[in-house]
Structures are given as structure tokens and as C-alpha cells.
Homo-oligomer: A and B are copies of this chain.
Amino acid sequence: MAIMTSSPTYLPVLERVAEEIGHTPGRGRSADYIPALAARDARAFGMAVAELDGTVYGVGDWREPFSAQSITKVFTLALDLAREGDELWEHVGREPSGNPFNSLVQLEYENGIPRNPFINAGALVVTDRLQTRTGDAAGELLGFLRAESGNPELDFDEEVAASETVNGDRNAALAHFMASYGNIDNPVPVLLEQYFRQCSITASCADLALATRFLARHGLRADGTRLLASRQAKQVNAVMLTCGTYDAAGDFAYRVGLPGKSGVGGGIIAVVPGRCALCVWSPGLDERGNSVAGVAALDRFTTLTDLSVF
């Protein structure tokens, strides 16, 4: 578990945000397509900040583990970019999708090249490529998250992974469809297993804020080694800002003004370049799949701190 090591610069702000959000009624609904997600209380709330030096602190349920889901797409992207470099962008775009997050329409018009790495189709391509390069994409991801968070207990949630598999026809359709264009290398069942395991990773706000820290540090990992070049870290931030919250990326940029990535487990990570990384969690989702209280909390945070990139 992460430990606080220096002065918590933004703790008073977090406390004020938590108090304001605590009074907000109507926090959306938990994702209902996976039993383990549906069971979470839509009103839970936690928020954590990880500063550049590894100081981490938070409010509310900030140490409570939850299902990271699509938040993991950021780390998988970084891990593959670190290995593959710009060649990746021949297989996945970096434009906002302008459509709901699992749309097949654009894939068809654009010959099997997904719009960006954060829609499901794009994440399948990135996972496929990391799998080809490592032989164990999900294991690679888990190792990275354990190292960055300093939490060796992070793990897959096999029950959640199994639920995804049961409900996985749409992702199977996406994978087969891209395979028909030659844009998937691994057998679809292998790919789906890797993909669902990644999504199932359980972690807390503290863990994920720490793991996101390398993007605030322009590519430097917790141990001081470099995962990404500074230029690449900025590019990942740019993709998060334009594509990180499904078809609400414009609204998120408008309200929050930070690179961010959400998951249907109710978590959102965000980056203040050169300053800190954040993670907020609250399971109630809006109709576009983003945490209602999570977006509101980040909105308040950047308003109070003036830390928006704009």
C-alpha cells in the first residue's frame, strides 16, 4: 500500500471537493452488465493525488479497491508504445471517435483501423500487439501496475474476467471484424482472454494515481528509469485528452481540462503534466459511461486549483 512521504499539497482541496460532492444528489447508475460491478454502491466516493515525488494521499474511499476496467487501456498503450514506437499508429488511429464507444460503423468505413487506442476496438489492437511482443500482455500490465503503485497485492479479478467472457460477444465481433482486415495477429480467443484479464484488474485510487504518475513525470517510472521519451508521454496525454472519455471527450476537456481516462468501474485517472496524477472513483455512471461524481469532482478540483491545462 502506498505511503505518504511529504506534504500533501492538494489535500485541503480534496477535502473541500469531497464535501461538496457528498451533497450532490443523483449520481448515476453502476454498470449493470457485469454482476460484480452492478453490486457496487453507486454512492461510494474516493479521490487520491500522487505527487511527482511519490507522495500520495486522498479522501473518502481512496484506498478501496475497485475494477479498473478501461483505465488499464492507458497503461497497455504506454507499454506497447515503449516497445513498438510509432509503428503502432499504422494499426490504430488517434482521432476521437465521435460515436459510442463500441461502434462498428467507423471500423467498417475505415477498413478495420480503429479510431484510437481507447475505444474497445483500439484497445484490442494494442493488446494484440503487446501480446505478440511479450507473450503475456496481461501479465506485463499487472507487473507494471504493481511496480508503479508499490502494491504487490494488485491482481486480476478472475470472477470479473469470467463475466466479461460470458458477455463478450461484442468484443469477439470487433476482434473478428478487424481480423478480417488483417489487423489482428493473435487467435481471437487468446486475444479476448488477455483483454478481459487486463480489464479485470482491481486497484484503489491510491494505486492508480501512483501508476499514472509517469505521465505527469514526462515518462519517468517510479524507480527513475524511463518508460517513455518525454515526447511520447506528452503524446499519450494528448490522446487521453482528445479520446479518453468515450464520446464525451469534448465535454470532459471543456469541464475538467485535463488528460483523463475513465472506466465503467467508475474510476477516472487524470494527469496534471509536471505536477501530479489523480484518480477518482465513484461507481454511478452517466449515459456515456463516465462516473458522474468522478467528473464532477475533477471539475471542482481544476476550478479550485486552476490546474486545467488551458
A residues touching B (Cβ–Cβ < 8 Å)? 93-99, 103-108, 115-116, 169-170, 172-177, 179-180, 188, 231, 233-235, 237-239, 241-243, 247-251, 253-254, 257, 259, 273, 303, 308-310
A273 partner residues in chain B, CB cutoff 8 A: 309-310
When the two chains form the complex, which single residue of B177, B235, B247 contacts A254, counting CB atoms closer than 8 Å? B235
When the two chains form the complex, which single residue of B94, B96, B108 contacts A103, counting CB atoms closer than 8 Å? B108
In the bound assembly, the distance between CA atoms of A95 and B115 in angstroms comes to 15
A-side interface mostly: helix
A177 partner residues in chain B, CB cutoff 8 A: 104, 169-170, 173, 177
List, sorted by A's number, 13 A–B pairs whose CB atoms are closer than 8 Å: A94-B254, A95-B248, A98-B98, A98-B115, A104-B107, A170-B180, A176-B176, A238-B308, A241-B241, A242-B249, A242-B253, A259-B310, A273-B310
- A233 CB to closest chain B CB, in angstroms? 8
In the bound assembly, the distance between CA atoms of A77 and B251 in angstroms comes to 16
In the bound assembly, the distance between CA atoms of A97 and B308 in angstroms comes to 23
In the bound assembly, the distance between CA atoms of A104 and B242 in angstroms comes to 22
Determine whether the beta carbon of A250 is less than 8 Å from that of B254: no
Closest to A116 in B: B250
